[in-house]
Structure 1
Amino acid sequence: MSFDADIVIAGGGLAGLSAAITANREGLSTIVLERGEYSGSKNVSGGRMYVHALSQLFPDALERAPLERPVTKETYEIYCEEGKKITFSFQHKTKNSYTILRAKFDQWLAKEAENEGVLISYTTLITNARREKDYVVIETNRGELKAPLVIDAGGITAPVSRFLGVKKLEPKTLMLGVKEVLDIKPEIPENEGEARTIMGLIGNLKGGGFVYTNKDTLSIGVTIKVESLYNSSIPSHEIVERFRESLGLSGNILEYSAHLIPYYGYDKIGKIHDKNLILVGDAAGFLINDGFNIRGMDLAIGSGIIAGKAAKKIKELNDYSRTDIYYEMLKESFVLKDMKTALRSFSVLSEEEVFTKYPKVICNVLGKLFTVTGDGKERPINVLLQESKSENVNTTKMLSDLMRLFI
């Protein structure tokens, strides 16, 4: 059987391009199918990248890649009723994460891939996929492609995996991300950057917001559990508008996007490989939220690198059912190890009370502890019990949930 390539990769984002670059370096012929006019055209609104995986792919990436600012200040903000607000910050000099603008960054990464010999087919939409004996046929708007191995890097929709019946979309495992880039220049030194994580400004929806400083702009957005949108009367596009207005940000909107984000957790990822098929990045459901780090981009790049190396081993065996090799390599990598470590915190942050009742109780407790009326003070524990009872919150469970973020 004559194939169009050793590997066909669905998706020209971080995971797909990392897989393509790695596989190409391993001597495999590779075709990347990207549905946009260019890589990054479907990811336009910036984000934050922990750069250790990028540096593995390109040791000189910090000098060459179009990164925006190093994140040197972490700020958490919890907004409550009656003007109450909890905020704390941590400043550091460790430049282990940077803000990026995906439209700019993904185009750079695609160019790097093409310079190394990777073939990328743009405006190529996958319309179906089917198995034929020991290979996969991918149907596109440009014709059919045959390959013994496919790497699905097509984002949360995972087109090849869905067509082959390996994955399906379920609202309970999805979040909606709505983002904007504003033409507001940060008033901080050029070699510094801030990541603000914000709760309490999107009503009773399960989720939160963020503000990232770029070189000359701000990236802002909200991420919300899809299932909590069912009973919401606010259209999704208005949520980020209200969030922006609540923060008093009034710059012109340069970019806007909305997309689905995986929210599986380590124990609910499901299948990430099948005969002739490997899933990477968002398609595999790789995302970490442990309360301190929200990570997806380094997992995408890391899983892509591993997929490219696993593809080489699979080809050497000439047995394309042995995609379990990819899974075994993942288990030894930071991708699955970090996801497993974060599972306890991830589970806590999936509970509704964390976004609604707990912040209100904490704000009310602090409000009373910092208030002196002359009528006599209650012990802090008694204030906590009273406020928990008024919000119908089990104090023991709340404290246990908060402790699970750390232990």
Structure 2
Amino acid sequence: MAEEKFQVIIIGAGMAGAAAAYRLAKAGREVLVVDRGSEPGAKNMTGGRLYTYALEELMPGEWLSAPLEREVTREILMLMTPQDSVAVDTMLGGASRQSYSVLRARFDPWLAAKAEEAGAMLIPGSTVDGLILRDGKVAGIKTGGEELEADLVISAEGVNALVAERAGLIRPVRAQDVAVAAKHVIKLSEEIINERFNTAPGQGAAIMCAGECTRGISGGAFLYTNKDSISLGLVVDSKGWKEAKMPLAEVAENLKQHPALARYIEGGELVEYSAHLVPEGGYPSLPQLYGDGFLLAGDAAGLVVNRGFTVRGMDYAILSGIAAAETANEAIEAGDYSRRTLQSYEARLQKLVLKDLETLKNSHDYLAHTRHLFTTYPALAAGLMKNLYQVDGQPAKKVTGLLKESIRGKLPYFDVFKDILKGGRSL
């Protein structure tokens, strides 16, 4: 290896970058990871929930020692009005080790350390200022006044991929393709969490909310139980948030006061507050994933799907890291880092990640532009449930009659039918 030249340089030590570094180091490659945080995870923010099939694909069995929080065994979907809520509560005792809540400040250093143990080199606290370009090919990075050369550069720098953008490899992030997220981490004892969520030690709950939690803006709220804390926050469509002109911090603070959620966090201590952009444009907004000497992975590539009841991103990031590493290995063996060789990266992603994004390509449009979804429908659901449970000495009505009564005057029946049909096809 020439002085200060690596086979692969990875920008970002998040899940995509660390996964790629781990796989490449395991294959004996000369790989460098550069991250602007003081340590991996220092600048990473997520809800967050990790589906473990991706970890098993990355490091079979080894992931069981990872600092994950709680296995999600209880799923709750909630529609909210200013005072009321309607929830579907599901216990998933048979879904063993399918997913865990995770705190990135704990998990990311562990994954990066695994990559270092395998032989990768990590430089934290370093900002990549630009890429080295020679004859249209990426040939390394510029950082701290120095140039570090590489046969291949993998950008895993996150949703706002400024290095790739400034080099002209991808277009700037568009408002309609991202959401804005805000999160509180609230400390509570493990015993209190177990009691309030009716979960056994090591098991936890995930709550996804829509309606008043975002003041009617397209988006939703989330709650995940960690070992000794709760992650509570919201995600709103950035375009809708801008048009609504509402302070996001104020909406996030009010979320903690809603009767449906306040009981879960009562007496807790706020230990962290953060905000972040989330890629949500989906399949139609995907950038070019490869170029001469260059690959794009994780959030930088927009590999996230929001279906309302689930949000997928961290598992896709890991899979893209694996695919990037496999593609890099192929290029190293061939001694060819051209677009023609690196296009196999897209084929690897197509097996699951891109296939999912294509299948759900209309999900973002449906969630962002179904105008009754976050206002009228939560109110209709709450009204219907009140009617179902109301006993006031009046003659009983059939459920179909109560349903029609709840909808009548609010919106046309045909609009409800169209939204249900579109949702079934989009989500």
How many residues were matched structurally?
A: 404
* Residue 141 of structure 1, CA deviation: 2.1
* Residue 372 of structure 1, CA deviation: 5.8
| Cα distance in 1 for residues equivalent to 2:412 and 2:128 | 50
1:361 and 2:380 are equivalent in the alignment: yes
1:5 and 2:6 are equivalent in the alignment: yes
* Residue 375 of structure 1, CA deviation: 6.8
* Residue 366 of structure 1, CA deviation: 4.0
* Residue 378 of structure 1, CA deviation: 7.5
2:186 corresponds, among 170, 177, 182, to 182
2:164 corresponds, among 161, 165, 189, to 161
Q: Is contact 1:45-1:180 (8 Å) kept?
A: no
Deviation per CA, 1:127-186: give whole Å up to 9, x if none: 222411244342222511222211110000113320221221101000111112111231
* Residue 320 of structure 1, CA deviation: 1.4
Give the corresponding residue for 1:220.
Answer: 232
> Cα gap change, 1:34/1:252 in structure 2, threshold over 3 Å: closer, same or farther?
same
| Cα distance in 2 for residues equivalent to 1:184 and 1:108 | 24
Give the corresponding residue for 1:67.
Answer: 68
* Residue 382 of structure 1, CA deviation: 8.3
Q: Which moved more, 1:16-25 or 1:374-383?
A: 374-383
Structure 2 residue matching 1:195: 3-state secondary structure = strand
Matched to 2:420, the amino acid is L
Q: How does 1:132-147 map to 2 (within 5 A)?
A: 132-133=134-135, 134-147=137-150
Point out 4+ residue stretches in structure 1 off by more than 6 angstroms. Answer: none
Give the corresponding residue for 2:356.
Answer: 338
Give the corresponding residue for 2:296.
Answer: 279
Q: Is contact 1:19-1:308 (8 Å) kept?
A: yes
Question: Where do 5+ consecutive residues of structure 1 fail to align?
Answer: none
Q: How does 1:350-389 map to 2 (within 5 A)?
A: 350-353=368-371, 354-371=373-390, 374=394, 377=397, 380=400, 383-384=403-404, 387=407, 389=409
* Residue 344 of structure 1, CA deviation: 4.3
> Cα gap change, 1:172/1:46 in structure 2, threshold over 3 Å: closer, same or farther?
closer
Give the corresponding residue for 2:283.
Answer: 266
Deviation per CA, 1:4-37: give whole Å up to 9, x if none: 1111111011000101111122232111110000
1:300 and 2:302 are equivalent in the alignment: no
Q: Is contact 2:28-2:119 (8 Å) kept?
A: no
Question: Where do 5+ consecutive residues of structure 2 fail to align?
Answer: none
> Cα gap change, 1:399/1:381 in structure 2, threshold over 3 Å: closer, same or farther?
farther
Q: Which moved more, 1:188-197 or 1:68-77?
A: 188-197
Deviation per CA, 1:84-143: give whole Å up to 9, x if none: 321111111212000111101001111111111100111111122241124434222251
Structure 1 residue matching 2:203: 3-state secondary structure = coil
Matched to 1:159, the amino acid is L
* Residue 371 of structure 1, CA deviation: 4.2
Q: Is contact 1:10-1:34 (8 Å) kept?
A: yes
Q: Is contact 2:388-2:402 (8 Å) kept?
A: no
| Cα distance in 1 for residues equivalent to 2:36 and 2:412 | 49
Q: Is contact 1:364-1:387 (8 Å) kept?
A: no
Q: How does 1:78-93 map to 2 (within 5 A)?
A: 78-81=79-82, 83-93=83-93
* Residue 339 of structure 1, CA deviation: 2.2
* Residue 267 of structure 1, CA deviation: 2.9
Give the corresponding residue for 2:347.
Answer: 328
> Cα gap change, 1:114/1:142 in structure 2, threshold over 3 Å: closer, same or farther?
farther
Matched to 1:77, the amino acid is M
| Cα distance in 2 for residues equivalent to 1:345 and 1:267 | 11
Structure 1 residue matching 2:214: 3-state secondary structure = coil
> Cα gap change, 1:35/1:84 in structure 2, threshold over 3 Å: closer, same or farther?
same
| Cα distance in 1 for residues equivalent to 2:406 and 2:257 | 33
Give the corresponding residue for 2:154.
Answer: 151
Q: Is contact 1:369-1:380 (8 Å) kept?
A: no
| Cα distance in 1 for residues equivalent to 2:391 and 2:426 | 32
TM-score (norm 1): 0.92
1:112 and 2:114 are equivalent in the alignment: yes
Q: Is contact 2:280-2:364 (8 Å) kept?
A: no
Give the corresponding residue for 1:390.
Answer: 410
* Residue 313 of structure 1, CA deviation: 0.8
TM-score (norm 2): 0.88
Deviation per CA, 1:30-65: give whole Å up to 9, x if none: 111100000000025651100111112222234311
Give the corresponding residue for 2:77.
Answer: 76
Matched to 2:357, the amino acid is M
| Cα distance in 2 for residues equivalent to 1:7 and 1:51 | 27
| Cα distance in 1 for residues equivalent to 2:141 and 2:408 | 56
* Residue 314 of structure 1, CA deviation: 1.6
Matched to 1:238, the amino acid is E
Give the corresponding residue for 2:332.
Answer: 315
Identical residues among aligned pairs (%) = 32
